[in-house]
């Protein structure tokens, strides 16, 4: 798995209400709830040929298009996100108040390969494409998939009339045009 620039699609999903759910609970109960959510997400992501890049707290980062190169990586990412959102209610314990996922998807060129120091390196994707996907996830409403303009252009026919939003996001000088998909 050599380092290279590739056209990829990046998906971030974040669980809403995690901190409140975890407050006052036994660590093993919190871990069990997270594992249940991660299992639901990762199973669907893998079925759509993504790599699960990171599990971070209560969030998931997935990359489509590398190392499994597919011409339809954008469509695979959106299909995975829609499936995950439709199954989200089953992924959370009943007492996780307001449990749902907020998702962001962006597509573009990223550096894909091993990043790290010395013997400790992770296979990952980095660059503006990844940063924008994460910022879209932060801006997504509960239960929503917020996609970049480049993603929406390829799935517009399946999601006509998605709400367009022009966002000013942290760390970027230029606004980001996005579209809200509601599965």
User: How far apart are alpha carbons 5 and 37 in whole angstroms?
Assistant: 31
> Residue 93's domain is classified under what CATH number?
3.30.70.1230
Flag whether pLDDT at 12 surpasses 80.
yes
DSSP 38: H
* pTM of the complete model: 0.94
User: How far apart are alpha carbons 11 and 106 in whole angstroms?
Assistant: 7
Q: What is the pLDDT of residues 139-164, one digit of tens each?
A: 999 999 999 999 999 999 999 989 99
Confidence of residue 2 (pLDDT cuts 50, 70, 90): low
Of 89 and 178, the structure prediction assigns the larger pLDDT to: 178
pLDDT at 145: 97
Q: Which stretch of DSSP H or E encloses residue 116?
A: strand 101-117
Q: Which stretch of DSSP H or E encloses residue 62?
A: strand 59-64
| Tokens representing residue 147 in the block | 């996609």
| Tokens representing residue 27 in the block | 């660590």
Q: How many domains does the chain have?
A: 1
pLDDT at 94: 86
Host domain of residue 55: 4-181
């Amino acid at each position: 798995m050599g380092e290279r620039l590739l056209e990829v699609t990046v998906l971030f999903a974040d669980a809403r209400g995690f901190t409140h759910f975890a407050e006052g609970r036994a660590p093993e109960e919190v871990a069990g709830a997270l594992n249940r959510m991660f299992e639901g997400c990762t199973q669907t992501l893998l079925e759509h040929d993504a790599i699960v890049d990171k599990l971070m707290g209560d969030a998931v980062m997935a990359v489509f298009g590398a190392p499994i190169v597919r011409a339809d990586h954008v469509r695979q990412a959106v299909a995975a996100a829609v499936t995950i959102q439709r199954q989200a209610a089953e992924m959370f314990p009943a007492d996780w108040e307001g449990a749902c996922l907020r998702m962001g998807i962006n597509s573009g060129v990223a550096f894909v390969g091993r990043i790290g120091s010395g013997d400790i390196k992770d296979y990952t994707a980095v660059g503006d494409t990844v940063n924008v996907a994460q910022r879209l996830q932060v801006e997504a409403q509960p239960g929503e998939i917020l996609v970049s303009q480049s993603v929406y252009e390829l799935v517009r026919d399946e999601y006509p009339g998605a709400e367009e939003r022009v966002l000013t996001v942290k760390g970027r000088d230029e606004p980001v045009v996005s579209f809200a998909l509601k599965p």
